[in-house]
Structure 1
Amino acid sequence: MHIDLPCNTAFFGAVDGDHWVSMLPMQVDDGNSVFWAGSQPSYFDGTFNQRIQKGQWTHIITTVSSGQWATYIDGERVGGGLNFPDMLSGTDTVIFSLGNNWWDTTYHGMIDELRIYDAAVNDLDAAEFYQNAVAR
C-alpha cells in the first residue's frame, strides 16, 4: 500500500451500514493506522500502534479468527487482541470496496496485490508473505 493522503478508508467490507469492517491508514483520534468495525451504538478500534507512513510502500496483513485479530506491517506483528466483532458472517451478501466506504472522502494512494483468505494468517505466514513480496 502506498498512501498519498492518509485519513481515508483503504479497505471496506460491509453487510449493511451498521455491520462493517474498515482499514484506515490514519485514524482521526490518535493518528495511528487502524482496522476497525462498526455496529451501532459502539465501534471496535484495532490500532496498529503506529501510523503507516505517507509516500512509501507498506506490506499490511490483518487477520481475524473467532474474535482474535492481528495486524502485521512489513512482516512484523504491530497490533492484535481479542473480541473483534464478527461483522460479516451470517449472510450470503458481503460488499467489499477499495478506497472508499459509504460516507467518507475517497482514499488517495495505491493498493497492489490485495488478497482475501478464508483462513487466519499466523506470525510465520505473515513473515513469509512479506519476504515473498519483497523478493519480487
Structure 2
Amino acid sequence: MIDAATHQMTVTDHGQTVMTFTAGFGKPGFRTPTGTFHVLGKDAVITMTSCSANITCNPRNPNYYDLVVHWAVRLTGSGLFVHAAPWDPAIGRADSSHGCIHLSTEDAHRFYDFSRVGDTVIVKNAGGLVGGPSGP
C-alpha cells in the first residue's frame, strides 16, 4: 500500500508488514494515479525521458528530463514506476515527480529485490488519473 496522504509505502507479505518506506509522488499537473496496479516488469537500470512519456521533447521546457534511473518497478504500460530518485531531496515532504513514486536508492533497491511480476500495488490518496502523463 502506498499512501500519498502520509508519504508512506508499506510492503506486506501474506498480511505481515515487512518494509515501510518514505515515498514521494507526482507534483500538481502530474499527480500519481490512485488505484490498484500490478507489477508488470522490473528494470535494474532504465533511461526515462519526458519525450517517451509524452510530456515534452523540448530540452528548454522545465518539465523536460532525460535520466538514468535505477531499481525501477513498472506499474503501468504508460510509464508509472516505483523507482530510486537520488536527485529528489523532498521525498516524504513534497511531491515533485512527473507521476512516478520516488523512493531513496536503498529503499528502491529493497523493493525491487522483494517485488515480483504480478504483485499487487495499491496507491491511495494520490489524486491522479490512470493514463495521464507519468515519469520521474
- Fold match (TM-score > 0.5): no
Q: TM-score, normalised by structure 1?
A: 0.32
Give the alignment's TM-score, normalised by structure 2: 0.32
Which is bigger in relative contact order (C-alpha 8 A, separation at least 6)? 2
